[in-house]
Amino acid sequence: MTPRRKTGLARLAATDRMALGFALDSVRANGVRSFLAVAGIVIGIVTVVLITSVLQNAKSQVAALFQGLGTDNLLAFHLGADPYAPPTEREANRKPLEIGFAEAIKRSSSNIEDVAVQLIVPAIVNGRPLVASAGRIDNDTCYAEGWQAKTYDIIDAGLAEGRVFTPIEEATGARVAVLGASVRESLFPGLSALGKEIRVSGVSFTVIGVIAPRPGGVFGENRQDSVVSMPIRTVQAVFPDAKNVLLYMRMKEGRRVEARQDAETLLRRLRGLAPESPNDFQLTSPDQIIAVFNQVGNAIGAATVALAGISLFIGAIGIGNVMIISVTERTREIGIRRALGATQGSVRRQFLIEAGVLSGVGGILGVLVALGIGFLVTLVLPRYDARPPWNAAMIGVAVSIAVGLVAGYVPASRAASVDPIEALRTD
């Protein structure tokens, strides 16, 4: 690089530093006007950064939740929605699946390795809400389910302490229970639950194990952590109103398509459906559920970006108006700079830098607000990290600066085209 070239770059850098100083002075001198101008930018950046972060974290949590049920599993249920949700009007007359279907499917399909059952206890037992109790502590947000001994293995429910019940305990209807992590913490805070007695809707059970916290969930809470699982025969005897059956079918490796076809065919046969009749059950896999959730999340994300775009557009209009006012108020200053040798390019850069600083301040404020909201959400929901990742924060600031530069280009060009002689005549 030649000395002249170096000198030119140094002069350009010095000019830009001076323009940056002018821009900061202008923002400080017109604080209220500047804040009102960038309010749209702040709202838009908060929306984009925070909602993007929440959706990204929700996707990863839900993916972990359903992957935790076994990526090689098929789930069968007679309703199309959440097993704990009331049926729709169209599904109200569907009969639940039967426990005996599990053995029939395993025996009849060479593509399905094993089948496990969960029998769901209704939320209302004998006219009262389901409650688990230990001493004087009650938990009325828990769930109760009957499991087979092999269910723990098929859905990969690892233990934090103790053991699961044996096939003999299952066959004899032993009154033993395995607690989810959240239930254990609520009933025995800071204590071991092993060997202790709990009551589920007034019926006593002995705790023999605690399941380790399950991955994922909605806002960091996996519902499996709130389940009290008991031998399925015990649940049939103690809670006769428990009718809803959920089947977990572990597919053999490399036979996903064949296993699904077998499961659908066998379930239709077991439920006596005519060839032309539609399925009266739901057959899903974790990857399908994750894909559907991702589609919904992407749609929400697109709508959020569109709304944020409107806020950014409004912010751009505000910045453009402020810059036009600034150019009008500083016409004489521009004329003096031009008379002293400032080029049109340097004047244009000065006002572009000012627009960039103005929008950049809005972007930084928006990111700080998003970080603050995310931190508060994380405090309220410790198992759900709502703090925006740094890459989202950096993109938010970059987008805000870009919006400011676009909005400020016309006023900056107007400033650069000011005739110095006419400007000096201005009062």
Q: Given this model, what pLDDT does residue 261 score?
A: 92
Identity (one letter) of the amino acid at 29? A
In sequence order, the 6+-apart residues with CB closer than 8 A to the CB of 41 are 311, 312, 315, 316, 318, 319, 359, 362, 363, 366, 400, 403, 404
Q: Given this model, what pLDDT does residue 199 score?
A: 95
Structure tokens at 179: 């607690």
Q: Do 128 and 275 reside in the same domain of the chain?
A: yes
Domain boundary among 285, 311, 342: 285
User: What would the pLDDT profile of 322-332 be if each residue is shown by its tens digit?
Assistant: 777 777 777 77
Q: Do 303 and 253 reside in the same domain of the chain?
A: no
The whole-angstrom separation of Cα 80 and Cα 292 is 13
Identity (one letter) of the amino acid at 168? I
Q: What is the pLDDT averaged over residues 232-254?
A: 92
Phi, psi of 318 (to 5 degrees): -60, -45
Q: Do 338 and 301 reside in the same domain of the chain?
A: yes
Domain assignment of residue 2, yes or no: no
The whole-angstrom separation of Cα 259 and Cα 276 is 22
Whole-Å CA distances, 239 to 74, 267, 276: 27, 26, 36
User: What would the pLDDT profile of 332-341 be if each residue is shown by its tens digit?
Assistant: 777 777 777 7
Instruction: Tell me which residue of 60, 29, 140, 57 sits closest to 389, measured CA to CA.
Output: 57
pLDDT confidence band for 233 (50 / 70 / 90): very high
Instruction: Tell me which residue of 173, 159, 73, 168 sits closest to 115, measured CA to CA.
Output: 73
Q: What is the pLDDT averaged over residues 12-41?
A: 64
User: What would the pLDDT profile of 89-109 be if each residue is shown by its tens digit?
Assistant: 888 888 999 999 999 999 999
Q: Do 168 and 217 reside in the same domain of the chain?
A: yes
Computed over every residue of the chain, the mean pLDDT equals: 80
Q: Given this model, what pLDDT does residue 8 score?
A: 47
For residue 252, give its domain range.
72-285
Q: Do 195 and 266 reside in the same domain of the chain?
A: yes
This prediction has a pTM of 0.64
45 touches 309 (CB < 8 A)? no
Given a cut of 70, is residue 21 above it in pLDDT? no
What three-state secondary structure class fits 405?
helix
Q: Do 183 and 330 reside in the same domain of the chain?
A: no
Domain assignment of residue 1, yes or no: no
Given a cut of 60, is residue 318 above it in pLDDT? yes
User: What would the pLDDT profile of 298-317 be if each residue is shown by its tens digit?
Assistant: 776 677 677 767 777 777 77
Q: Do 100 and 220 reside in the same domain of the chain?
A: yes
Q: Do 280 and 296 reside in the same domain of the chain?
A: no
212 touches 89 (CB < 8 A)? no
Domain boundary among 285, 317, 337: 285
Q: Given this model, what pLDDT does residue 6 score?
A: 47
The whole-angstrom separation of Cα 415 and Cα 335 is 9
Phi, psi of 221 (to 5 degrees): -110, 115
Q: Strand 137-139 relative to strand 203-211: parallel, antiparallel, unpaired?
A: unpaired
Question: Regarding predicted confidence, which is higher, 382 or 278?
Answer: 278
Q: What is the pLDDT averaged over residues 211-217?
A: 76
Q: Do 410 and 297 reside in the same domain of the chain?
A: yes
